[in-house]
Structure formats: structure tokens, C-alpha cells
Amino acid sequence: MIDKTFDHPRTGDLKPTVPVDIPKMETAFSALGLSDALAFGVQEMGYVTPTPIQAQAIPVVLQGGDVIGSAQTGTGKTAAFALPIIQRLGTHGKLRCLILEPTRELALQVEEAFQKYAKFTDLRVTIVYGGVGYGKQEDDLRRGVDIIAATPGRLLDHLERGNCSLANVDILVLDEVDRMLDMGFLPDVRRIVQQCPKARQTLFFTATLPPELEQLASWALRDPVKIEIGRVRSPAETVAHAFYPVVATQKFDLLHQLLDRTDFKSVIIFCRTRMGADRIAHRLEKSGHTVGVMHSDRNQRERIEALQGFKTGKYEVLVATDIAARGLDIAGVSHVINYDVPENAEDYVHRIGRTGRAQNSGDAFTLVTEEDVRDARSIERYMGVSVERKKIEGFPYIYSALFDEKALAETAAAAVKPASRLHRGARR
Ligand code: AMP
């Protein structure tokens, strides 16, 4: 049994404690300085080895240091900050930790992760986001919480209404800050940071650091430790991916065949447009599949319902646009099908990263029409690998020239895109 009391340079009153009935732990997580309770908790969740961001960030956060991390979702980033934060907070008290997220989905995901990791503590975690009523959030805030995961706009509303105060925030996490910038949230973020005490620990996560964010970071952080976990250029090795060439008029039939011939547990189908997603969902429902739909035209209730339905198995198929591809962590997705090739090579990696997560294997199929050849090539160049072209035996293809690799290569060579295209920001 250990009762580690860490040096808290900024927030000296935080004293981590360990519940009495947890065994003494000697794991790779306890070696990073995590208490027995937390090491036991992550062991219960099946984590054996810390991911690189966890190995680097946990000791720094435990010591109270500020961090600029460049890791993306899917790297174990949430646990990298949540575990040491829970340890630092120790036992229930005032609102001492705020995590800002750009979207409701990410806020929900982070809140869920905190709930799981804090299972063996009496810390209270809640979530605050827009698009829903105030009642439950007000009740939760009034009851007293230690940790809030929030989107900026709604948090400001609560602050203005006097429903909560940030005066005791010891630890501030600004997550996915580049997305907050894209979404126009930086002024709100600044207003929120200003309401937190100056003497605090700040953790700042972003995939890129354009000048606006460098400025924000130098204003909000003190002597940060930089932790860079390379950009996700290639999909996890646990994902097998293939391109399925087909003419545009046969896309839906091919999708249908793929679903019929694949033994899938749960599949996410990505479309480029919201209307396209609705149309595919409707056709799949008509052919007997249970389908959830996620895109930005759907309201909050519909999005949560679709996601929950997919997670619990009510829907075997989730049809989504790219907004759902980024960051969403859904366990056990066995297949990803790109009904449309993403325009942006990085989106491909994000989309197919929804399967093969946390060491599970997964398959990713992409339908490639004659018009998509250039985008498909861009994806291969971006990842630095060539993706196998596959054909479904017995499917009545009407344009067999699509399978002529030489012709495809020539078409692609004639239509090479400027490199800058590959690094353009993600579409939302
Ligand atoms: P994140 O990057 O925080 O979205 O995490 C991605 C997924 O990896 C989540 O499902 C986590 O539960 C899982 N995960 C996080 N850390 C580990 C670990 N050390 N070992 C195995 N899985 C992990």
C-alpha cells in the first residue's frame, strides 16, 4: 500500500489518496507514478502497456507541470491526462478541473473516460454542452462536482448565470485546440481561461500549432513540456484496407453486395455529404439493415441516439459524414466502408482509424469510381503505401476497364494534385 504525496509546485493543497482495499500494484502504470487505485483501475480495463503519450505525459502531469501535447485521438491521449489528474485531485472537493472540448461528442467521450478511471474514487465528474436544456446540467453543477468536461459556449452561459465558478480550478485542459480554432471558439476559450486562477496547471493538446495557437499557448501556459507523438500518417497495422473500383451507377449495389458477403459485427459507412448519408441510410433500411445516422444536420438528441444505438448493437450500421470520423472512440467496430472516397487524404486515415482500435483487427473497404482515382492516389501517396484493388466475384460489373491497373496508373499520373492539397485542413 502506498500513499504517494507528490510535490505540487502550483497547487500544493492537492493530496492524492489511495482507497484501502486496493492491492499493492507493480505494473507499467504504477511505475509511472500512478497510485495503486489507478493502476488497478486501468488493469481492470485491460490496459497492460502505457501508450507513448501516456508514458511521456503521466509523470509530467503528476508533477504539476504544464504540457503542450501534439498527440491525436486514438493514441490514448485521454488517459494520458485523465489518470494523473484524478490522482492529483484525490478526494471530492470543489470544482478543480476543467476540460474544454470543441464538440459535444468529444466532451461526452472524455466525461465517460473520467467516470471509468475515477471509479475507485469519490470524485464527481459532469458534462456541460449546448443544444440541450439547462435543467440537468444546472442540477449537476449545484450538487457540486470536481471535474467538468465542457464545450466553451455553454460553459460561458453557465458562468454568466452564476451556476458555477472557475475560481478554484487547479487544472485546465484545452483539448483539440486546433479544432477549436477552426470552429471559431478561440475568443470563448480566452474568456474562459481568464476566469481560471493564474496559479494553475494547464495542459494543451493540438495536432498543429499555427501562430494563433502558439500565441494562445504562450499566454496560457508556463514553461510547458512539449510532447510530440508523430502525426497519424498511416492507419494502425491492425486495419486491413482495400479499394473496390466500381462505376458510380453501381455503387449502391456493390455496397449491398459487400455487406451481404461480409461477416461484420458493426460497420460505419462514410459518405461525403449529409444528403448522401441520409439517402444511403434510407436505402439500407429498406433492404433490411438497422441503421443509425450521424451528421451535422441532425440535432443533438438524434446524434446521441444514433451513437448510443450503434454502441449497444441496436444499429448494425452507422452512416456518417466526416464530422463523426474525428475522435469518436467506439469499441468493436469491425468494418469501415467509405461509400465515398474522402477528398482529403488525412480524413481517410481518420475514417479507417475508427476500426482496428486498441489492438482489435478491422477491415476498411473503399468504393472508388472513375472520378475518385486521383483522390485514391493522393491517399496512397499520403500514407506511402499502395492499397490493394479488389473485385467481388460474380458481381455484374459494367465497366471492367476499372480493373486495368495500367490504365488506372496512367489516369492517375495524368492528374497528379499539387502536394499542398494533401495537407489541407479537414473538412467538417
Ligand atoms: P483516446 O486516444 O484517448 O481516444 O484512446 C483511444 C482508445 O484506446 C480508448 O478506447 C482507450 O480506452 C484505449 N486505450 C487508452 N490507453 C490504452 C492502453 N494503455 N492500452 C490499451 N488501450 C488503451
Report CA(402)–ligand 1 centroid distance (Å). 39
Distance (Å, whole) CA 108 – CA 111: 5
Read off the pLDDT of residues 341-394 as tens digits, 9 standing for 90 and up: 987 777 888 777 776 554 456 788 999 998 898 888 888 887 878 899 988 888
Report CA(279)–ligand 1 centroid distance (Å). 33
The predicted structure's pLDDT at residue 12: 36
Does ligand 1 lie within 6 Å of residue 28's CB atom?
Answer: no
- The pLDDT of residue 45 is above 90: no
Residue range 239-414, CATH number: 3.40.50.300
Most confident of 104-108, 142-146, 175-179: 142-146
Does ligand 1 lie within 6 Å of residue 176's CB atom?
Answer: no
Contact residues for 189 (Cβ-Cβ < 8 A; gap 6+): 100, 152, 174, 177, 180, 216
Structure confidence at residue 417 as a pLDDT band (50, 70, 90): very low
Q: Judge whether 109 and 178 are in contact, CB under 8 Å.
A: no
The predicted structure's pLDDT at residue 70: 85
Does ligand 1 lie within 6 Å of residue 79's CB atom?
Answer: yes
Distance (Å, whole) CA 399 – CA 389: 15
Structure confidence at residue 402 as a pLDDT band (50, 70, 90): low
Determine what percent of the chain is predicted with pLDDT higher than 70: 81
The predicted structure's pLDDT at residue 71: 77
Neighbour count for residue 165 (Cβ, 10 Å): 13
DSSP secondary structure string, 132-168?
S-SHHHHHHHHH--SEEEE-HHHHHHHHHTTS---TT
Does ligand 1 lie within 6 Å of residue 76's CB atom?
Answer: yes
Lowest mean pLDDT among 90-94, 262-266, 270-274: 262-266
Structure confidence at residue 427 as a pLDDT band (50, 70, 90): very low
The ranges assigned to domains in the chain are 3-229, 239-414
Q: Same topology for domains 3-229 and 239-414, yes or no?
A: yes
Q: Judge whether 266 and 310 are in contact, CB under 8 Å.
A: yes
Structure confidence at residue 271 as a pLDDT band (50, 70, 90): very high
Residue range 3-229, CATH number: 3.40.50.300
Average pLDDT score, the chain: 83
- The pLDDT of residue 315 is above 90: yes
Structure confidence at residue 181 as a pLDDT band (50, 70, 90): confident
Better pLDDT: 422 or 28: 28
Phi, psi angles (nearest 5°) of residue 368: -120, 115
Structure confidence at residue 327 as a pLDDT band (50, 70, 90): low
The predicted structure's pLDDT at residue 356: 56
- As given in the structure block, the three cell numbers for residue 46 are 485491460
Does ligand 1 lie within 6 Å of residue 243's CB atom?
Answer: no
- Residue to mutate (ligand 1; options 51, 53, 54, 109; most atoms within 8 A of CB): 51
Does ligand 1 lie within 6 Å of residue 358's CB atom?
Answer: yes
The predicted structure's pLDDT at residue 20: 53
Does ligand 1 lie within 6 Å of residue 32's CB atom?
Answer: no
Query: By C-alpha distance, which of 392, 403, 320, 331 is closest to 360?
Result: 331
DSSP secondary structure string, 38-85?
HHHHHHHTT--S--HHHHHHHHHHHTT--EEE-PPTTSSHHHHHHHHH
Query: By C-alpha distance, which of 380, 391, 383, 390 is closest to 416?
Result: 380
